[in-house]
Chain A
Amino acid sequence: MKPAAFDYIRAGDLSEALDVLGRHGSDARIIAGGQSLLPMLNMRLAKPAVLIDIMGIAGLERVGREGDLIVVPAGVRQAALMKRPGLAGEQPLLAAALPWLGHYQTRARGTICGSAAHADPSAEIPLCLVALDGEVRLRSRRRRRSVSAADFFSGMMVTDKADDELIEAVAFPVAMTGTGYAFREVARRHGDFAIVGCAAVVTRDAVHLAVAGVADRPQRRSFPPLAGSALTDALNGFAWELDARDDFHATARLRRDLVRSLGQSTIGEAQRCLA
């Protein structure tokens, strides 16, 4: 399993990267940490003619704050965000989810934005973005735009990003007072792709549950604060709506079961954080 041939360009700044991307469009791919792209190249599921390496671009590796948003530019590695001082207070959902994102060895290389760009339906970063109603900031030679996470992820590894655009940054809202957050996941091995991942955001008058690994992209539903059989029914309805499929790792039925049980325990944990 070796990649097909490609030209490799080390971009010195963002405008260089955008120029090349603009010229080559779908023949070009951005490479940052490479932890999602290299498996695709090795298996020849992707055969770009040009790879544009953006990790040499200065300034893309610093996490910033803009008001109530944690802004994570394209060069930030997953391990770097995980080590951000105070992250658990700033956004507990991210702090809870990051240790599940791949392995210690892949987080040291992989980037947050790369995980968003790859848009695997079971991945943690897309799930957190959708759960928190975060945004994805896109840039091309022509324009800059910001897309809500719910609109960005449009299908199985398909996003709203145009061929000449790259993800400049993703932004996660910080924790709000009076809100509880929780994350849970079931995978065959810690760090493997989730069979089902759940992220709950709970306030006194609403419950938001986002689920990864079942539909073709992370999906979020909002309920009033239900309990007992009303909650069970709501989760059952959500589980069926997600249109689970059988695959090598799990049956559709197991996935629906996990949405019900893991969904309930994740919501419960978020509610306890609230109390």
Chain B
Amino acid sequence: MPRLNAATRHRVAFTLNGKPVSLEAEPRLLATDALRHGLGATGTHVGCEHGVCGACTIQIDGQPARACLTLAVQLEGAAVTTVEGLAPERDRLSVMQAAFRRHHALQCGFCTAGILVSLDAYLREQPAPSEQELREVLSGHLCRCTGYTPIIRAALEAAACLRGEPLSQPSDREPAHV
């Protein structure tokens, strides 16, 4: 039974966006700080540090997770995806990222990393989400800039695009308010 002593640092190894990484972590180190300070992966943002804002959302083995509610030592052996892992290659945006840009679904960008990572996980589970379903997924994220409407629009369009449906003419249709 491995016991990791509070006062010492322990090697934690996992894959980050497909690449093996490791760092030295005290048991109390949060995954947010492990990523940002330990590995320099600052794409994952930190807002509230108690699970409310969603800015720190990452994927652990393909499932969404609050990095601020995860200990670095809990990442041992896991496959971690962060916003840095969403674009298919350097200088090319993912379908969702491109839709965010088209629809102005971000302003300051503080919330964006977490939202993109959430939506990426959710669309794998539900490729044809309703607007209501997307709103429920977004209820796990706080955005103080956009009012969410452009985020919903971008997500619906990106989902359609990922299903192989032709891009409808950029519509002015406001999603119905629920």
Would you give the 0/1 interface string for A109-142, flagging 1 where the beta carbon is closer than 8 Å to chain B? 1000000000000000000000000000000000
Residue of B nearest to A38 (CB): B69
Q: Given A42-B30, A106-B66, A106-B69, do A5 and B6 touch, yes or no (CB 8 Å)?
A: yes
Q: Given A34-B71, A109-B66, do A7 and B136 touch, yes or no (CB 8 Å)?
A: no
Identify B50's interface contact among A1, A55, A103, CB under 8 A.
Answer: A1
A38→B28 CA distance, assembly (Å) = 10
Residue of B nearest to A34 (CB): B69
Chain A residues lying within 8 Å of B64, measured Cβ to Cβ, are 104-105, 108
Chain A residues lying within 8 Å of B73, measured Cβ to Cβ, are 8
Identify B69's interface contact among A4, A12, A39, A55, CB under 8 A.
Answer: A39
Q: Are A104 and B65 in contact (CB under 8 A)?
A: no
A31→B4 CA distance, assembly (Å) = 14
Closest CB in chain A relative to B115 CB, distance in Å: 10
A191→B140 CA distance, assembly (Å) = 7
Q: Are A108 and B27 in contact (CB under 8 A)?
A: no
Residue of A nearest to B6 (CB): A5
Q: Are A189 and B71 in contact (CB under 8 A)?
A: no
Identify B3's interface contact among A9, A41, A103, CB under 8 A.
Answer: A9
A99→B33 CA distance, assembly (Å) = 30
- A253 beta carbon closer than 8 Å to chain B: no
- B7 beta carbon closer than 8 Å to chain A: yes
Which residues of A (25-48) have their CB < 8 Å from a CB of B? 31, 34-35, 38-39, 41-43
A48→B113 CA distance, assembly (Å) = 32
A3→B6 CA distance, assembly (Å) = 11
- Is chain B's interface secondary structure helix, strand, loop, or mixed overall? mixed
Q: Are B50 and A2 in contact (CB under 8 A)?
A: no
Would you give the 0/1 interface string for B26-47, flagging 1 where the beta carbon is closer than 8 Å to chain A? 1110100100000000000000
Which residues of A (69-115) have their CB < 8 Å from a CB of B? 79, 99, 102-106, 108-109
Q: Given A9-B4, A38-B51, A108-B64, do A189 and B139 touch, yes or no (CB 8 Å)?
A: yes
Closest CB in chain A relative to B142 CB, distance in Å: 9
Closest CB in chain A relative to B69 CB, distance in Å: 4
- B63 beta carbon closer than 8 Å to chain A: yes
Which residues of A (1-20) have their CB < 8 Å from a CB of B? 1-12, 16, 20
Chain B residues lying within 8 Å of A51, measured Cβ to Cβ, are 27
Q: Are A10 and B57 in contact (CB under 8 A)?
A: no
Closest CB in chain B relative to A256 CB, distance in Å: 26
Identify A190's interface contact among B30, B70, B71, B136, CB under 8 A.
Answer: B136
Q: Are B57 and A105 in contact (CB under 8 A)?
A: yes
Q: Are B51 and A191 in contact (CB under 8 A)?
A: no
Chain A residues lying within 8 Å of B122, measured Cβ to Cβ, are 104
- B49 beta carbon closer than 8 Å to chain A: yes
Chain A residues lying within 8 Å of B51, measured Cβ to Cβ, are 35, 38-39, 106
Q: Are A104 and B137 in contact (CB under 8 A)?
A: yes
Identify A5's interface contact among B1, B26, B66, B68, CB under 8 A.
Answer: B26
- A53 beta carbon closer than 8 Å to chain B: yes
Q: Given A7-B3, A38-B51, A190-B136, do A2 and B30 touch, yes or no (CB 8 Å)?
A: yes
- B5 beta carbon closer than 8 Å to chain A: yes
Q: Are A9 and B2 in contact (CB under 8 A)?
A: yes
Closest CB in chain B relative to A118 CB, distance in Å: 13
A188→B74 CA distance, assembly (Å) = 31
Chain A residues lying within 8 Å of B57, measured Cβ to Cβ, are 105
B: residues with CB less than 8 A from A are 1-7, 26-28, 30, 33, 49-51, 54, 57, 60, 63-66, 68-71, 73-74, 118, 121-122, 135-137, 139-141
16 contacts between A and B (CB under 8 A): A1-B49, A2-B49, A8-B3, A8-B71, A10-B4, A20-B1, A34-B71, A38-B66, A38-B69, A39-B50, A39-B69, A105-B65, A106-B69, A108-B121, A190-B135, A191-B136
